[in-house]
Every structure is written in C-alpha cells, then in structure tokens.
Structure 1
Amino acid sequence: MPVLDGDAEDGHRGSAPGDHPRGDRGGGGLRRNVKAAQVRRELLPDQSQALLRELHLLTREGHLNADALRKLKQVNHLMGLLRPAVEDILARHPSPVLVDAGSGNAYLGFILYELFLKEAAGGTLLSIEGRPELTERAKERAQRLGFTRMEFQTAHLDAATWPERVHLVMALHACDTATDDALVGAIQHGADHVAVVPCCQAEVAAQLKGKRPEVETSLGMLFQHPWHRREFGSHLTNVIRAMTLEAFGYQVTVTELTGWEHSLKNELILGRRVHRENRPARLKLEALLSSFGVQPKLTRVLGVTPATRTSPA
C-alpha cells in the first residue's frame, strides 16, 4: 500500500497500473529538480532538511529530484490541511493518539511528528504497517532521530491491535479495502478527526459486474463497460465512504489533495466527529447500497445493510 503515489522505492501501499502522475509521462515542465540552494523555499516553515535527508527525500548533495519533490508536495499539502485537526486534539487532550494507517515507510508520520508532536507536551503517533521490513526500518529511524513517542506495529489494518481510544486517523493511498479498514478503526475507536486519500479501489466494481440498479435501469449504462465500471466503482466507493462517516456522526468534506500534476489518486476525505450518529444519513446510505446492489467491506464490518426493497403492489 504505497504511502505516496508511485513510491516504487518504498514499496508503499501499491499503485495500480496507470496511477502515475501526468508529470511522469515524458519530459514536460511538471518534472523539475530543485537544487540545494532553492530547497528551502519548497519546505514548510518548521520543516528541517535534516529529516528529509534521513527520509532520503533529499539527495546527498541536498537536491530534490522530481519524484521526491512530488512526494513532498503531497505530504506537505496534507500537513496544511491536517493542521486544524492536530491543533484541536492537542488543545483538548493531554496525550492524544494519532494513527498513520498503512504507513509504509512512515514518511507522513515522521513529517507530522516533527512539525506537531516533537515539541508538544504529549501525544503518541502509532504507525501500522503490514510489512515487517518497513516497520523495522522506520523503528530504527525513529530511534536515531530521538522521536520517542513514535510507535510501530506490524499488522494488516483489519488484524491490528488498535488503541482503545484514538483521536486522529490518517491513511494516505491505502489500497482498495485498506482504506475501509482505516475508516473502521477510526469509527470504532472514536476518532475525533479522520483524513484518508484512497488509492485503487476494486471491490465495488466487482460487485457491480452484471448488475443494474433497481431504481432506474438506465443508470446501469454508467457501468456497462469494464473501464466505466472501474471508474464508476471507484467513485461510488468514495461516496459510500463519505456517507458512512456522516452516518456515524462525522461532518465530512471531500476535496482534492494536490494538483493533478502530483497525483491522479487525488481525492481527500476529511471527517470531524460532531455527533454520536446521524440517523437520516444512515437511511440515505442504506438506500444507496440497495439501489446499486453493493455492500463494500466498510459497511459490512460496521453492520450497515442495504435498505429492504418492497415489491410494487
């Protein structure tokens, strides 16, 4: 599950074929290298070049190559969008728990820790990753950096041991149902804030195959062809994710993460918990599931079932 789009070096969270940003497709101006003397202007105010060297985002000479710049742009933009959520939980909780779900090499976690937790009085950042070699590498890196409140767990998200209470859950490019697993963890453990950037999605597209919505048969034309089914299934998956968060009491914002030149997997779903549940939103979600005859892992695990359809008299 690649943490960052196209992160082949890290083996992070896995991109599907054709997921690579447009800037990678042949020598246009979108692929640019940044020389060491200009690197500072690409960074956030409190961001250190020392950490970026440790993460191998900077070369030995201190330059940013095109791939590293693209990754950094994604993470740094997400940091800006997460800042209100992190500041909120730090202000309200003495020792908040933040979870990087499907963390890969934990670039996101390390950068967030340096910017927000390193100088904070409390707070723990837990990185959950299924591949032990990545977990061990990140753990050693945290020890070298003195990031003592970073913790690491080797587990797939649906089998992980989650803290009883978490305050922020983030998942950047967790593939297919791994994003659902991150959302389940957030909802079941009372996360105040959620931020996910989904990657490839295949489950709902497979469920749509051979089906036509009962409410209006012409809607089936939206996913008649395999290409359209994949794209429509991806869109429907993320609509269901946003509606599920709303059903469980979250106020949801859906937006883009960065410009398309940085990533084609660019949809950001942000949730802030404001209620324990939202019954009207749940009824709408159940109706949507029934209309398209799908039930992705997220709704199955959380016990949300499609609305029962009554036959016309």
Structure 2
Amino acid sequence: MTKIKPQRDVNGAGKKQPAVQGIAEQLGLKPGQSIELLKALHILTRDGKMNQDSRRKLKQVYHLYQFIEPLLAELSQNEHTVSLADHGAGKSYLGFILYDLFFKQLGRGRIYGIETRAPLVEASQQLAAHLGFERMAFLNMSVADSTHADAMPERFDIVTALHACDTATDDAIAFGLEKKARAMVLVPCCQAEVAACLRQSKALQLSRTPLAELWRHPIHTREIGSQITNVLRCLYLESQGYQVTVTELVGWEHSMKNELILARYTGQKKRSAAERLQQLLAEFGLDASLQHRYPLLAAADAKQA
C-alpha cells in the first residue's frame, strides 16, 4: 500500500498552488475544512480542482452532514462522548468529513467505520493516522458481524449507512437496535431481496390478487421491490420506538439512490406499525421469506402470548 505523502506547496512545474482560502471559497467548502483531506480522498486534485463526479459526491456528503450535524450537536451536550458507527463505509468519505467538520473541533467522541474490503480499511487507517484523526477506528468486517464484535462498544449514539447495498441496510438497522442507537441515518441502495421474493411467487400472486400487476413486468418488480423494502424498514423502526422521517437526500439529478430515512428514538413503540408490517408481508406473499428480518416483532408477540 502506497503511503500518503504530505501535499507540497509547489507543483512539479514550479507554479504555486492557489491559496487555501481561495480554493475553499471557490469550491464552496465549509469553514475550517481540511484541503489536504479532500485531496487525500481524491475529491480535489493536487492543484485544488474538482471534477463533476467529485462535486456530486461532495454534494451528497454535505447534504447528509446537514442532517447529522444537529443530531451530533444535541447528543454531545453535557460533555457526552458521542459515538457514531458508519456502516458500508467504503473509502469513508462521510466519516472523514464528519470528523473534520465536527469531531475535530469538539475534541471528544469516536467514529467507527465498518467495511468488508480490506484495502479500503487499510487506506482509511493510514489516512486517519496521517491526519492525526486519532478518534477514528476502521474495522474490516461485515455489518452483520460487527453487531457482536468485541472491538465495538455496547452502545452507539448514531448509526449511519450511506448507500449500503441490498440487505446491508437491514443489517445496519439490526445493529442500531442492538446497540440502542439514539438516531439512525440511512440512505438505502440496490434493494434486491424483496424483488427476488416477488419474482418467485409472481404466478401465484397474479392468480390471487390484482395487486400483483404492480410487479408483473421486470422493471416494475425492481421498483416496487425497492419501495416495499423501505416501507417495511420504516414500519419496523416505528414499531421499535423510533420516530421516522423519509425525505430526499439530494436532487435526483445527482443520485438515483436518493431516499433518506431518518429515525430518532423516542421510546414510543407503535403497535399499529407492527401490525401493518405483518399485514403487508402477508398481502405481498413475503411472510416466509422475510420474517427473519424482524426478530424483535416475533419476540414481542411471544411475550404477549
């Protein structure tokens, strides 16, 4: 793995780079944001420029930061050491920018990045050490495995998952519930599990209900599968005591994976949400396939029996 080298003040051609303040103003960066970090993440080039793809990526992270920062500010009051788990971290754009813009100035709190690809974890560890981001940790494991990993704290304040693919978002929700997270910020991606279940039972459902016309064509199967998946996730969170808000992350021109689920723990478990979830599973023929995704519902039913 190539070590990250500090940025020089002069390019190979001998031309000085633009002043840091000038770059920040030109690109609309946040006050105090590390130019060196953005270059190390390849969001900025060595001479402080940004391509269109990088602008989209940074715009997504900034928008997500606007939702997370108020939660961090609230939960870090009274000298509380706030903890955040970032699932499916990838190159840890979100984690590094959260640390740079909030945790660094706060002087306390920790971020844990969970990622299955070892080279990305190693690169993030090197970058954190290079920048002196001492309260960042990176773990090479799946979201599901991290729930009971010894290296993880028993409790977390905030759980994030930006574009965690398919069932990794469900695993992040299970992690948050196990760790009694006070807030979850989720941007789901590539939901395929429900669509696969709908395809398997399509013929039976077409004979049973006209609703099956909603997923008769393959493109509709994918779209309705994604929609059902997120609706079930929201109901599950509400059934476990979370207040849920669903909104857009950024404009659709920037990303098609654009649904943002914000969940804040209130302790008010909605029985109606649990009932609706079960009804939807039955209506779409998903009972047998998806019951394992909602173990806390079964546990609650067992207690009441």
Tell me which interval the TM-score lies in, with the shorter structure as reference length: 0.7 to 0.9
Counterpart secondary structure, 2:165: coil
Q: Are residues 1:117 and 2:117 paired?
A: no
Give the whole-Å Cα distance in 2 for the aligned partners of 1:93 and 1:273: 20
- 1:68 partner SS: helix
Check 1:175–1:187 CA distance in 2 against 1; reply closer, same or farther (3 A cut). Answer: same
Q: Residue 55 of structure 2 aligns with which residue?
A: 69
Within the candidate set 27, 35, 39, 1:49 is matched to 35
The structure richer in helix per residue is 2
CA shift, 1:93, in A, is 6.2
Residue type at the aligned position of 2:53: D
Query: What CA distance in whole angstroms lies between the structure 1 residues aligned with 2:239 and 2:79?
Result: 25
1:39–1:298 distance in 2 versus 1, CA, 3 Å: farther
Unaligned runs of 5+ in 1: 1-35, 309-313
1:257 paired with 2:243, answer: no
Structure 2 match to 1:16 = none
Q: Note if 1:147 corresponds to 2:137.
A: no
Matched, 1:274 2:266: yes
Of 83, 87, 93, the residue aligned with 2:73 is 87
Task: Kindly indicate whether residue 186 of structure 2 is the aligned counterpart of residue 174 of structure 1.
Answer: no
Aligned mates of 2:290, 2:144 — CA distance in 1: 11
With 269-278 and 196-205 compared, the bigger mean Cα shift is at 269-278
The count of corresponding residues between Structure 1 and Structure 2 is 270
Aligned mates of 1:126, 1:301 — CA distance in 2: 25
> What is the DSSP-based 3-state SS (H/G/I as helix, E as strand, rest coil) of the residue aligned with 1:174?
strand
* Letter in structure 2 aligned against 1:240: L
CA distance in 2, matches of 1:110, 1:287: 41
Code of the aligned partner of 1:268: L
**Letter of the 2:263 counterpart:** G
Say whether residues 1:60 and 2:53 are aligned partners: no
| Matched residue SS, 1:171 | strand
Over the matched positions of the two proteins, sequence identity in percent amounts to 46
Matching of residue 204 in structure 1 with residue 194 in structure 2: yes
Which range is displaced more, 50-59 or 126-135? 50-59
Provide the secondary structure at the position in 1 that maps to 2:105.
coil
Partner Cα distance (2:183, 2:265) in 1: 6
- Counterparts of 1:177 and 1:93 in 2: how far apart (Å)? 35
Relative contact order, higher structure (CA 8 A, sep 6+) = 1
**1:234 maps to 2:226:** yes
Give 1:289 shift.
1.2
Q: Give the whole-Å Cα distance in 1 for the aligned partners of 2:82 and 2:125.
A: 20
For structure 2, the residue ranges without an aligned partner over 5 or more in a row are 1-19
Deviation at 1:190, TM superposition (A): 0.5
Q: 3-state DSSP class of the match of 1:85? A: helix
Q: Which of 270-279 and 233-242 deviates more?
A: 270-279
**Partners in 2 of 1:253 and 1:93 — Cα distance?**
28
- Equivalent position SS for 1:119: helix
| Contact in 2 for aligned 1:99/1:126 (Cα 8 Å) | yes
Whether the 8 Å contact between 2:86 and 2:159 is mirrored in structure 1 is yes
- In 2: Cα distance, 1:298 partner to 1:114 partner: 40
2:112 is aligned with what amino acid? L
Give the TM-score taking structure 1 as reference length: 0.81
Q: Residues 164 and 188 of structure 2 are in contact (CA less than 8 Å); yes or no, is this contact kept in structure 1?
A: yes
Distance 1:109 1:288, change over 3 A: same
**Structure (1 or 2) with the larger CA radius of gyration:** 2
Counterpart of 2:172, as a letter, is A
- Report deviation, 1:250: 0.6
Q: Which amino acid is 1:289 matched to?
A: L
Q: Distance in 1 between matches of 2:173 and 2:248?
A: 18
> How far off is 1:58 after superposition?
0.4
TM-score, normalised to structure 2, is: 0.83
Q: Tell me what 1:165 maps to.
A: 155
